[in-house]
Amino acid sequence: MNGKKFNILIIDDDKKFITEAKKMLRDLGEIDFDEGYSEADFYSLYKPGKYNAIILDLRLKSGYEGMELLEYALNEDPHAPIIVLTGYASIETAVKSLRLGAKDYLEKQYLKEKDFKTEFIKKINRIIIEDKAVKIADQKLAESAAVDRVIGNDIKIKRIIAFAEKFAREKESPILLVGEMGTEKGQVAQYIHRKSSVRGKFVKKVINPGEEDLAAQLFGGDKAEGLIKQAQAGVLYLEDVFRLDYETQQRLLDFFDSGELKKTGKKHGQAVKVQVILSTSRSSDQLITNKNIHANFFYRVKTPEILIPPLRERGDDIFLLSQYYLLELKHLGKTTAGAISNEVLKMFKAYPWPGNLFELKHVIELSGMNARLDNDKTIKPGHLPFDLQNGVLEKPGSAQIDLDKILAETTLKYMAAALKKSKGAKIEAYKYLGYPESKRGTLNTRFKKVFTTYPDLKGKYPGIHKLYLEK
pLDDT digits (tens, 9 = 90+) for 75-103: 777 678 899 887 655 567 777 788 777 88
Range of 32-36, 115-119, 288-292, 412-416 with top mean pLDDT: 32-36
Question: Could you give the 3-state DSSP secondary structure of residue 90?
Answer: coil
> Per-residue pLDDT tens for 415-424?
787 787 777 7
Q: State if pTM tops 0.85.
A: no
Average pLDDT over the chain, rounded to whole? 81
Asked, as a colleague might, if the bond just before 304 is cis with ω within 30 of 0, I would say: yes
pLDDT higher than threshold 70 for residue 133? no
Ordered by where they begin, the domains of the chain are: 5-145 (3.40.50.2300), 155-309 (3.40.50.300), 312-468 (1.10.8.60)
The confidence score (pLDDT) of residue 406 equals: 67
pLDDT higher than threshold 60 for residue 148? no
Gap between the Cα atoms of 229 and 89, Å rounded: 66
State residue 30 phi and psi, 5-degree precision: -80, 120
What share of the chain has pLDDT > 70, as a percent? 82
Mean pLDDT within 7-16: 91
Task: Give 146's pLDDT tier (boundaries 50, 70, 90).
Answer: very low
Gap between the Cα atoms of 431 and 372, Å rounded: 9
The confidence score (pLDDT) of residue 399 equals: 39
Task: Give 189's pLDDT tier (boundaries 50, 70, 90).
Answer: very high
**The one-letter amino acid at 186:** G
Gap between the Cα atoms of 330 and 434, Å rounded: 10
**Does residue 130 contact residue 101 with C-beta atoms inside 8 Å?**
no
Gap between the Cα atoms of 397 and 381, Å rounded: 26
Report the DSSP beta bridge partners of residue 34: 9
Which of 123-132, 185-194, 234-243 has the weakest average pLDDT? 123-132
pLDDT higher than threshold 70 for residue 117? yes
Range of 11-25, 110-124, 128-142, 392-406 with top mean pLDDT: 11-25
The confidence score (pLDDT) of residue 9 equals: 94
Question: Could you give the 3-state DSSP secondary structure of residue 127?
Answer: helix
Sequence-separated (6 or more) residues with CB below 8 Å from residue 356: 179, 180, 181, 182, 183, 184, 310, 311
Radius of gyration, alpha carbons of the chain: 27
Count of CB atoms within 10 A of residue 296's CB? 12
What share of the chain has pLDDT > 90, as a percent? 18
Mean pLDDT within 141-153: 60
The confidence score (pLDDT) of residue 342 equals: 83
> Per-residue pLDDT tens for 388-437?
776 554 444 433 456 567 667 767 877 787 787 777 777 777 776 666 65
Q: Please indicate whether residue 172 or residue 403 has the higher confidence score (pLDDT).
A: 172
Q: Please indicate whether residue 87 or residue 36 has the higher confidence score (pLDDT).
A: 36
Count of CB atoms within 10 A of residue 325's CB? 21
